[in-house]
A and B are shown apart, each in its own frame.
Chain A
Amino acid sequence: MKKFLLAILLCAAALAARAQLTIDITTSGGRQIPVAILPFAGEGAQAQPVSPVVSADLARTGLFRLVNTVGVSPLPTEPSEVNFVDWQARSSEALVIGKVEPQADGRLEVRFRLFDVQKQSQLASFSYVVAPAQLRATAHRIADVIYEKLTGERGVFSTKITYVVKRGTRYELQVADADGANAQAVLASNEPIISPAWSPDGSRIAYVSFDRKKPMVVVQNLAQGTTRIVANYWGNNSAPAWSPDGSTLAVTLTRDSIAQIYAIPAGGGEPRRLAVTPAIDTEASFSPDGRWIVFTSDRGGSPQIYRMPAAGGAAQRLTFEGTYNVRPRYSPDGKSIAFVQREGGRYRIAVLEVDTGQVTVLTDGTLDDSPSFAPNGKMILYEAQANGRGQLAAVSSDGRVRQRLVSSAGDVRDPAWGPLPAN
């Protein structure tokens, strides 16, 4: 087992409300790809250097080992300047070089190249012309390209996450980059906010607000800042989940009885009850193909995970071990379901393989909650508790890599990982 600490100092600008985010990564087993990421020529003149962001993105996954690049001079910026023999000697399998060049109009050209060191061949080469404020986002795009070339999977470094921060009696729904940078409050309230859920296109977030002294479901358009109450019926209104086409929300209402699951048009409209049971049904999650809804029900005497057709109908029980299996979330490929399992008084994140029924416990916390898959299915973001405070953590879906995103800013909870960007 290897342990190392990666401290990322977020950019200095507009940092008043933000604290240092420390990402503590633990990896166990599995091969790490050695990759050398050289400082980009000219990036030192910019407020936001590019290569440290690329390095941090890749290191955070636990899938790469960053090869020491100290003492390389001059920095190669063209393929002809690369000494492949030297990088082979440093046991690097991949090499990244790049440069940042100011343009006449004030924008910057960012170029990078990715090489296979053994084959001495170029794997990727891209050039971006961006405003200086876009350097960090550009670094994430570069990391996405490198990740995809070297692992065959899509990178998720350009995605967003949302979560709730509680400070004293103040609640904020925040949206941040996947690495925790650029956190912004999109909603603030003196009443609790829970269960944020991204629309499939990332333009809206549904959440549960207690602003009217009881839970109601609200959809907020992020770009416009507009909100719409989609469910505020007698009793509780909660647990919103988006259908994959974004047209429908599954919600939990208690207007007719105990908590039951209803489908409601995402823009508002009459709820349609999907099942009638004498027990609690809640925490719906749509399968990526839109055919199924998994949910929590205690119809069998203890809360377990069930699956029913998305249009409603007979349900099938999916979990059988233990007396507390809740909060299911489909993986992006629909093959597995992350959920919260209680065992011996501890609450941990586990994954269920839908076809085989096999359950793997991924975390070792005491009060883990709210698992949410990255859109490439490789990581699961969740809420962990440490020293009586909620904080964000992530675990790879094979359990080998764990991250803790330690923030000094209050109680951080209920995270949800956003979709891949449209381009």
Chain B
Amino acid sequence: MKKVLLSIAVATLVAACGSQEVKKDVPVADRTTPPTQTQPTAQTGTTTPTQQTAVTGNPLKDPKNILSQRSVYFDFDSNVVKDEFRPLVQAHAKYMVEKKDTKIRIEGNCDERGSREYNLALGQRRAEAVKKVMTVLGVQDGRIETVSFGEEKPADPGHDEAAWAKNRRGDIKYAGE
């Protein structure tokens, strides 16, 4: 658990410095079972032990781990990865550098305004922007596919600025998820 927190702290530090320096001695993928992780399986009686192990042992699914955060939000008409989301992207980059067999797909999304196909292209540009942050940190190009859902998969179905802000995003999905 401490290790996880440390990795977050380092990721934040790296982001704050705006540098590409990544300390290699800091483990990010913590396979040990955190003591507080029995809660997610308590909600259903049908969860099998296998799933329980998978959930509790997976930093990507651990709500306390930054790796469980997958969405990068964008300003209107912008594909700039904002500073507040850099720690998240950097943590995923670090994880992928260490776990060489991982592949991801970054899914770009837009709000509903404008034409569907131009939005599809814009969403892809957002996904590319997230990818670029990761490749700069050492993740090989071929392990990251960028795709776009344009305006077709809004996180919030509303039609106001609050909804649109949630819909302009890039989502990180690991292969097999």
Query: Using a CB–CB distance below 8 Å, which chain A residues touch chain B?
Result: 192, 194-195, 208, 210, 213-215, 234-236, 238-239, 252, 254, 258-259, 280, 282-283, 296, 303, 324, 326-327, 340, 342, 347, 367, 369-370, 385, 388, 414
- Let me know if A236 and B112 touch, CB within 8 A: no
Contact (Cβ within 8 A) A254 B124 = yes
Asked whether A238 lies within 8 Å of B120 as measured between CB atoms, the reply is yes
- Grouping DSSP codes into helix (H, G, I), strand (E, B) and loop, the B interface class, with mixed when no group exceeds half, is mixed
Q: Assess whether A236 is in contact with B125, with CB atoms less than 8 Å apart.
A: no
Q: Given known contacts A210-B149, A210-B152, A215-B147, is B118 in contact with A236 (CB within 8 Å)?
A: no
Q: A259-B120, A342-B114, A388-B159 are in contact. List 17 more A-B contacts (CB 8 A).
A: A192-B153, A210-B152, A215-B147, A234-B145, A235-B124, A235-B147, A236-B121, A236-B147, A238-B117, A239-B120, A254-B124, A259-B121, A280-B122, A282-B121, A326-B114, A369-B115, A369-B116
Whether the Cβ atoms of A239 and B145 lie closer than 8 Å is no
Supposing A192-B149, A347-B113 touch, asked if A258 and B128 sit within 8 A by C-beta, the answer is yes
Q: Would A367 and B146 count as touching, CB distance under 8 A?
A: no
B113 touches A327 (CB 8 A): no
| Docked CA distance A214–B153 (Å) | 11
Q: Which residues of B contact A340 (CB under 8 A)?
A: 114-115
Which residues does B use to contact A, with CB under 8 Å? 105, 107, 112-118, 120-122, 124-125, 128, 145-150, 152-153, 158-159
**CB-defined A-B contacts under 8 Å, sample of 22:** A195-B117, A213-B105, A214-B145, A235-B145, A236-B120, A236-B124, A236-B147, A238-B117, A239-B120, A252-B120, A254-B124, A259-B120, A282-B121, A324-B114, A326-B117, A327-B115, A327-B117, A340-B115, A342-B113, A367-B112, A367-B113, A369-B115
- Whether A280 contacts B112 by the Cβ 8 Å rule is no
Residues of chain A contacted by B145 (CB below 8 angstroms): 214, 234-235
Q: List, in ascending order, chain A residues with CB within 8 A of B149's CB.
A: 192, 210, 215
Closest Cβ of chain A to B165, distance in Å, is 15
Closest B residue to A192 using CB positions? B152
A50–chain B nearest beta-carbon distance, Å: 38
Q: Which residues of A have CB within 8 Å of B158?
A: 388
Tell me the smallest distance from the CB of B177 to a CB of chain A, in Å: 10
List residues of chain A with CB within 8 A of the CB of B125: 258-259, 280
Number of A-B residue pairs having CB atoms within 8 Å of each other in the complex: 94
Instruction: Give the nearest-CB partner of A339 in chain B.
Output: B115
Whether A280 pairs with B148 at a CB distance below 8 angstroms is: no
Pairwise interchain contact A280-B121, C-beta atoms closer than 8 A: yes
Q: Which residue of B105, B122, B148 contacts A215 across the interface (Cβ within 8 Å)?
A: B148
A326–B118 contact, CB under 8 A?
Answer: yes
- Chain A proximity of B161: nearest CB distance (Å): 11
Q: Are A214 and B105 in contact (CB under 8 A)?
A: yes
| Shortest Cβ gap from B108 to chain A (Å) | 9
B-side contacts of A370, CB under 8 Å: 115-116
**Across the A-B interface, the 4 shortest Cβ-Cβ residue pairs:** A259-B121, A192-B152, A327-B115, A214-B147
A327 touching B147, Cβ below 8 Å: no
With A215-B147, A258-B124 already in contact, the answer to whether A239 and B117 are too (CB < 8 A) is yes
Contact of B115 among A208, A235, A259, A283 (CB under 8 A): A283
Chain B contacts for A280, CB-based, 8 A:
118, 121-122, 125
Question: CA–CA, A194 to B119, complex, Å?
Answer: 12
In the complex, what residue of chain B is closest to A240 when comparing beta carbons? B117
| Chain A proximity of B40: nearest CB distance (Å) | 24
**Smallest Cβ distance from B35 to chain A, in angstroms?**
35
Closest A residue, CB atoms, query B112: A367
Chain A contacts for B114, CB-based, 8 A:
324, 326, 340, 342, 347, 369
- The answer for the CA separation of A235 and B141 in the assembled complex, in Å, is 13
The interface centre, meaning the residue of B114, B117, B125 with most chain A CB atoms within 10 A of its CB, is B117
Rounded to whole Å, the gap between the CB of B78 and the closest CB of chain A is 13
Q: Is the CB of A252 within 8 A of B117?
A: yes
